[in-house]
Amino acid sequence: MLIRSGQFAGMAKVSVRTLHYYEKIGLLKPSFIAENGYRYYSDDDLFKLQRIIALKNLGLRLDEIYLLTVDDDRKSLIDSLKLQSELVDAQLDRLSSLKETVDKVIGQLESGEEDIDILRLIESSNYEKDILDNYRNGHNLNVRINLHEKYGTNRVKWFDWLFKEMDLKDGLRILEVGCGDGSLWKGKSVKGEIFLSDQSRGMIKRCRDSLGNDYSYQVFDLEHIPFKDNYFDVVIANHVLFYAHDVDDGIKEIYRVLKDGGFLYASTYGKRHMAKIREIAKAFNKRIELSRDELFSKFGIENAKELLEKCFKEVRYVPYIDELRVTDAMDVVSYVLSCHGNQNEYLNNHIEEFKKFIDGYFENGFLKIEKEAGLFIAVK
């Protein structure tokens, strides 16, 4: 059954103007447009609109909602509902914690206490923002990983290759800085004392939820590692060192906590890595910057050896040979929207247009994207 836009808007408790805007940005299009311009929506459209409203009420931006609702298959729906469930659970935890804190402060005030826990009350009120930041960071990381996993031509995927190149014997004391969601360790088995760290508390939670309690987890940044000198046999920094405020300080801190003869495994990429995507985004809108900094200029293939040799006596480089052959332009759109730059500012209302623009770069049914990444192995 088809429903006129006015009635449809009333059923969903939104304005017709909102429907027109969602249609304009490609978020929700009517199932049928009559010759007289009347818009008609279906029951499936109503279900999708309800998903959009639910995600928007949870605090997600429209570009994030677009990516969660672009596919109408069962898996996409399940993923969307799981996300809603996770965010609702997290918000319930936040509200429960907030109520406990409010009740405690009330009790303190009523009893005349002077040392009142107002700071914790403020921190609790900011927890919802932390939830959404955690979602965004995790979602964006997964989008970038999935593009490489889905379209990489090297039969050995990145994390499997990385694990193979690192000499991780049983019994070692290992630290990974900037572990993200723990992708390196999924499906792997190493018997040792393994510490996984990240500066994001949300990422550590995702990591723990994914990997369980066989690892030790800590929140800190790599320039302030809270361990004593000469403590670790191995430190792993997978695409991390270029995020340090001061790369030299980060390298010195890793050097400090490594034992003599210990190994640093530091992966990075070069200036040609994924350059095709940057080129396409710039061609679409010259104001788009996919990163606030050129990370490869801070610690990349071109200068990493020189930076590491300031501390380490032996440094060698192992390249990872791969390229992407992308067959779905929407995956490139998702990748671009996941980046750390200003792209969302210029793409939010032009996602469909951007997708068609990317399609124009396809040859023989795919878009070829050059990669330039690898692993530096340094010995103390």
pLDDT of 248-291, one tens digit each? Answer: 999 999 999 999 999 999 999 999 999 999 999 999 999 999 98
The position carrying tokens 């393994």 is 194
* CATH code of domain 150-379: 3.40.50.150
Domain regions of the chain by residue span = 3-69, 77-149, 150-379
* CATH code of domain 3-69: 1.10.1660.10
User: Average pLDDT in the 342-371 region?
Assistant: 92
For 237, half-sphere exposure in the C-beta direction (CA atoms, 13 angstrom radius) is: 30
The position carrying tokens 């996300």 is 83
| Residue 327 · residue 150 · CB < 8 Å | no
Q: How confident is the model at residue 118 (pLDDT cuts 50, 70, 90)?
A: low
The position carrying tokens 């009740």 is 103
- Predicted confidence at residue 201, as pLDDT, reads 80
Q: Which residues contact 57 (CB under 8 A, 6 or more apart)?
A: none
Could you write out the DSSP letters of every residue in 234-285? Answer: EEEEET-GGGSSSHHHHHHHHHHHEEEEEEEEEEEE-TTTTHHHHHHHHHH-
Q: Which residues contact 217 (CB under 8 A, 6 or more apart)?
A: 195, 196, 197, 204, 207, 208
**Range of weakest confidence among 237-246, 286-295, 342-351:** 342-351
| Residue 227 · residue 175 · CB < 8 Å | yes
Kind plus residue range of the DSSP H or E element containing 220 = none
Distance CA 170, CA 173 (A): 9
pLDDT of 180-238, one tens digit each? Answer: 889 999 988 888 999 999 988 878 888 898 899 999 999 999 999 999 999 999 999 99
> Assign residue 34 a region: left if phi > 0, alpha if psi is -120 to 50, beta otherwise?
beta
Angle (CA) 195 292 338, round 5° = 65
Q: What's the whole-model pTM score?
A: 0.75
Q: How confident is the model at residue 120 (pLDDT cuts 50, 70, 90)?
A: low
- Predicted confidence at residue 38, as pLDDT, reads 92
Number of C-beta neighbours around residue 22 at 10 A: 20
Displacement of CA 156 from its chain's centroid (Å): 22
Q: Which residues contact 107 (CB under 8 A, 6 or more apart)?
A: none
